[in-house]
Amino acid sequence: DSGVTQTPKHLITATGQRVTLRCSPRSGDLSVYWYQQSLDQGLQFLIQYYNGEERAKGNILERFSAQQFPDLHSELNLSSLELGDSALYFCASSDSGEYTDTQYFGPGTRLTVL
Amino acid sequence: AQSVTQPDIHITVSEGASLELRCNYSYGATPYLFWYVQSPGQGLQLLLKYFSGDTLVQGIKGFEAEFKRSQSSFNLRKPSVHWSDAAEYFCAVGGRFGNEKLTFGTGTRLTIIP
pLDDT tens readout for residues A7-40:
999 999 999 999 999 999 999 999 999 999 998 8
Is beta strand B87-94 parallel, antiparallel or unpaired with respect to B102-104? antiparallel
* Cβ-count burial B51-82 (b if 16+ within 10 Å, e if not): eeeeeebebeeebbbbbeeeebbbbbebeebe
Most confident of A80-84, B30-34, B90-94: A80-84
pLDDT band of B100, cuts 50, 70, 90: low
Q: How far is CA A40 from the centre of its chain?
A: 18
Per-residue pLDDT, B28: 80
Q: What share of chain B is helix, strand, coil (3-state, %, to 5)?
A: 10, 50, 40
Q: Any residues with CB less than 8 A from the CB of B43 and at least 6 apart, and which?
A: A2, A4, A90, A92, A105, A106, A107, A108
Q: Measuring CA to CA, which residue among B74, B88, B64, B76 is closest to residue B26?
A: B74
Per-residue pLDDT, A97: 81
Q: Distance between terminal CA atoms of chain B?
A: 41
Indicate whether A41 pLDDT > 70.
yes
pLDDT band of B55, cuts 50, 70, 90: very high
Mutate to test the interface with A, among B99, B101, B108 (most CBs of A within 10 A): B101
Per-residue pLDDT, A90: 96
pLDDT tens readout for residues A63-98:
999 999 999 999 999 999 999 999 999 999 998 888
User: Are the beta carbons of A2 and B102 separated by less than 8 Å?
Assistant: no
Query: Nearest residue of B to residue A9 by CA position?
Result: B41
**Of A42, A45, A105, Cβ closest to residue B43:** A105
Q: What residues 95-114 of chain B have any CB closer than 8 A to a CB of chain A?
A: 99, 101-107
Indicate whether B106 pLDDT > 90.
yes
User: Are the beta carbons of B94 and A2 separated by less than 8 Å?
Assistant: no
Indicate whether B98 pLDDT > 80.
no
| Amino acid type, A63 | R
Per-residue pLDDT, B12: 97
Chain A residues whose beta carbon lies within 8 Å of the beta carbon of residue B99: 56-57
Residue B41: Cβ-neighbour burial (10 angstroms; 0-12, 13-18, 19+): exposed
